[in-house]
Amino acid sequence: MAVRAKAASQELAAVRTGAKNRWLLAAASALETQSAEVLAANAEDVAAAPGYGLNAATIDRLELTPARIAAAADGLRQVAALPDPVGEVREGGVRPNGLQVLKVGVPLGVVFFIYESRPNVTADAAALCVKSGNAVILRGGKEAIHTNTALHRLIAAELAAAGLPADAVQLVPTTDREAVGHLLKLGDWIDLAIPRGGESLIRRVAREATMPVLKHYDGNCHVYVDAAADLGMAERIVVNAKCQRPGVCNAAESLLVHAAVADTFLPRVGAALRGRGVEIRGCDETRRLIPGTTPATDADFRAEFLDLILSVKVVADLDAAVRHIAAYGSKHTDAIVTADLAAARRFVQLVDSAAVMVNASTRFNDGFELGLGAEIGISTDKFHARGPCGLRELTTYKYVVTGDGQIRE
């Protein structure tokens, strides 16, 4: 598979944008016109799900509906509408000796994409990889194997007609753990591994991979409410960051409140959060101000709950908040709420996270929201891309240097 993917990637690098877009639009139509086939396959997976120990929430993520298939098709059309990062001239100029130097976007090559449960990711990941000129090897979870096989068959069937290599999108046909280990050894053929799922999957991929890995382990995201915060704004941001979609990596897991506003802010935000069904686990000061709060352990301050639970701590000042975030955070997304410009500048400079938000919800750290058009994942590493990764982050560049006979003296 990896050898065929590498060969396909060499063809894909030279394919025109029009061909890639034709494939995306044809695949979108195929998803809609042949949705019955996908829904039937999905029903098999849903029926088998309790046997894999899936609960109601994870079965809901697994289940496809006509509306969800339409959304997936729409996602493909959106990727078709995005600019092609391949061939994009990122920088350029002419040197004093007349050499023209261009930095031109080129694909990475082959992407190995490993993901759990949610089958809508199948079409999404294939679209982003191919639009950015990469061949992709998809490896979904065993719980979704029938759905993924049907989805892959539909979208791969449209490749040849659009003029793309048939091996541009492959699906690992087996669901055994060993297959992933074998593919992770193939650093000479696969240029990038992207794991999406639980932390144990991601740690395993990072440990075994012989190629670069685009990843984040978890998102223990903080909202720090400064002494100079507009407390109404702070309450809206905390409630949104925690409750709007608690199961995702950019949801807030921890609230830090400056001691000077704790007395007024904590009872108020405590009531708002309780009204939304949030369990609060707090420090002693928090427990005094929000009666009935569970005592927070050190593990609570480290936790990515992915649930309606929030750890809360009162801090002496901004620097104490920054130190807490450095010690407990995931370098993913952290926010300050403040009207004080100096405080905002200091927080932005000192917090070493992929995204730092000022007076905005942590939920905005997302490829669509930040204007990348789409995202294949979020990176908390510092090498290559950081934060949400879209089409451009799935490419690298080459220097193209053109002259008329220049030599070095």
Distance CA 260, CA 227 (A): 6
Contact set for its own copies, span 217-256 (CB under 8 A) = 230, 233, 236-237, 239-241, 244-245
* 149 C-beta neighbours (distance < 10 Å), count: 17
Residues pairing with 115 in the sheet = 196
Q: Which is nearer to its own copies, 152 or 392 (CB)?
A: 392
Residue 52: CB minimum distance to its own copies, A: 31
Quick note: the x/- pattern for its own copies over 129-168, rule CB under 8 A, is ----------------------------------------
Instruction: Map residues 358-397 to x or -, x wherever contact with its own copies holds by CB under 8 A.
Output: xxxx-xxx---xxx---------xxxx-xxx-------xx
Residue selected from 16, 95, 203, 276 as contacting its own copies according to rule CB under 8 A: 95
How many residues touch its own copies under the rule CB under 8 A: the total is: 62
Q: Which residue, 31 or 249, is less far from its own copies as judged by CB?
A: 249
Phi, psi of 277 (to 5 degrees): 80, 20
| Residues contacting residue 174 through CB under 8 Å, at least 6 positions apart | none
Q: Which is nearer to its own copies, 304 or 381 (CB)?
A: 381
Nearer to its own copies, 138 or 223 (CB): 223
- What is the DSSP secondary-structure string of 202-223? HHHHHHH-SS-B---S---EEE
The residues, any chain, with a CB within 8 Å of residue 184's CB and separated by 6 or more, are 112, 193, 205, 208, 209, 210, 211
Shortest CB 194 distance to its own copies, Å: 12
- Comparing CB distances to its own copies, the nearer of 174 and 349 is 349
Q: Which is nearer to its own copies, 47 or 339 (CB)?
A: 339
Residues 184-223 close enough to bind its own copies by CB under 8 A? 191-192, 212
Beta strands in 227-270 (DSSP E): 252-258
Q: Which is nearer to its own copies, 179 or 248 (CB)?
A: 248
Do 105 and 85 form a contact (C-beta atoms < 8 A)?
yes
Sheet holding 169-171, edge to edge: 169-171, 135-139, 110-115, 192-196
User: Per-residue x/- mask for its own copies, residues 306 to 345, rule CB under 8 A?
Assistant: --------------------------------------x-
CA distances from 391 to 81, 336, 363 (A): 12, 29, 21
Please answer whether residues 237 and 270 qualify as being in contact, where contact means their C-beta atoms are separated by less than 8 angstroms: no
DSSP character for 311?
E
Query: What is the SS3 assignment for 193?
Result: strand
User: If binding is defined by CB under 8 A, does position 269 make contact with its own copies?
Assistant: no
The footprint of its own copies (CB under 8 A) covers 10, 13-14, 93, 95, 99, 101, 106, 108-109, 191-192, 212, 230, 233, 236-237, 239-241, 244-245, 344, 348-350, 352-361, 363-365, 369-371, 381-384, 386-388, 396-408
